[in-house]
Amino acid sequence: MGYKDLKYRMYMKSILGVKLDGLDINDTVGQIQDYLASNGQYHIATVNPEFIVDAYYNREFKDILNRADHNTVDGFGIKLAGLFKGYTFKRCTGVDLVSALALSSEIEKERIFLLGGREGIGYAASRKLKQLNPNLNIVGYISGFVDIKEPSLFEYNNVLGQINQLEPTILFVAYNAPYAQAFIDEYLSKMPSVKVAIGLGGTFDFLAGTVQRAPKIFRTLGLEWLYRLILQPSRIKRIYNAVIKFMYLFFKYDKNLS
């Protein structure tokens, strides 16, 4: 794969060595429509600060992200870091991207498959997407793996078999990083009908309503992490990585990376 010279492609920027596009939601949807009209297969990652921290310590994950065809900026911290480097990143979160895609009439002709989430979450997320656009063609949804951290060969064969039987053109993969991105990177070529695969983390939970999204004022001010911490104190380690550790690594090391 690699970066494609399509209509909406902008000059690539990077934060701590991870390439980013920084397109807004509308241009990202337009880019995806271009991908769908082509003959290729494309991997899209919705990158947040925690991804970049993980990629700093995990070269394999960094390589996967840099092989992806499009990396959106999903996180206020990345947008802020970009400003220090003179970049004007636009935010494009996973839940906003999926919702915008669902509302696009161009997507109605595509076949959509939802992979990931806990039992029942894919179904609930598909119902929400159908509420947004009753004309969407959602052909299937499965959790896929009992534990994505320790998948079995049987589970892989079962997942690929179900996807290939239903022949989707768009695949939403809702596993936490780096597992969604690693799955797409390794197996996209084994799902020949899929033109666009997007790693979405916890997006299905937001769509299903099992996790409450931060109010708009928190999102505008870049304080989603604070809202999540109030609701889920157990996330403190992840939030520390995404907020404190990310900015520490950025200011200390980014100048030495391309």
Percent of the chain with pLDDT over 70: 87
pLDDT over 70 at 133, yes or no:
yes
Contacts of 213 (CB under 8 A, 6+ apart): 95, 206, 219
pLDDT in tens, 88-125: 999 999 999 999 999 999 999 999 999 998 889 999 99
Q: What angle do CA 75, 77, 78 make, to 5 degrees?
A: 75
Cβ atoms of residues 238 and 50 within 8 Å: yes
pLDDT (0 to 100) of residue 61: 97
Q: Round to whole Å and give the CA distance between 196 and 97.
A: 13
pTM here is: 0.89
168 prior amide bond cis, ω within 30: no
Higher pLDDT, 86 or 213: 86
Q: Round to whole Å and give the CA distance between 118 and 26.
A: 29
CA 119 to chain centroid: 20
pLDDT (0 to 100) of residue 229: 61
pLDDT in tens, 20-69: 998 999 999 999 999 999 999 999 999 999 999 999 999 999 999 999 99
Enter the tokens of residue 207: 């769509």
pLDDT in tens, 213-238: 767 776 776 667 666 766 677 767 77
- State phi, psi for 116 to the nearest 5 degrees: 120, -175
pLDDT (0 to 100) of residue 223: 65
Weakest-pLDDT range from 68-72, 117-121, 187-191: 117-121
Mean pLDDT of 4-31: 80
Q: Round to whole Å and give the CA distance between 57 and 203.
A: 25
Q: What angle do CA 193, 196, 200 make, to 5 degrees?
A: 125
pLDDT (0 to 100) of residue 139: 98
pLDDT (0 to 100) of residue 54: 96
Q: Round to whole Å and give the CA distance between 252 and 48.
A: 19
Higher pLDDT, 11 or 145: 145
CA dihedral defined by 42, 48, 52, 54, rounded to 10 degrees?
-100
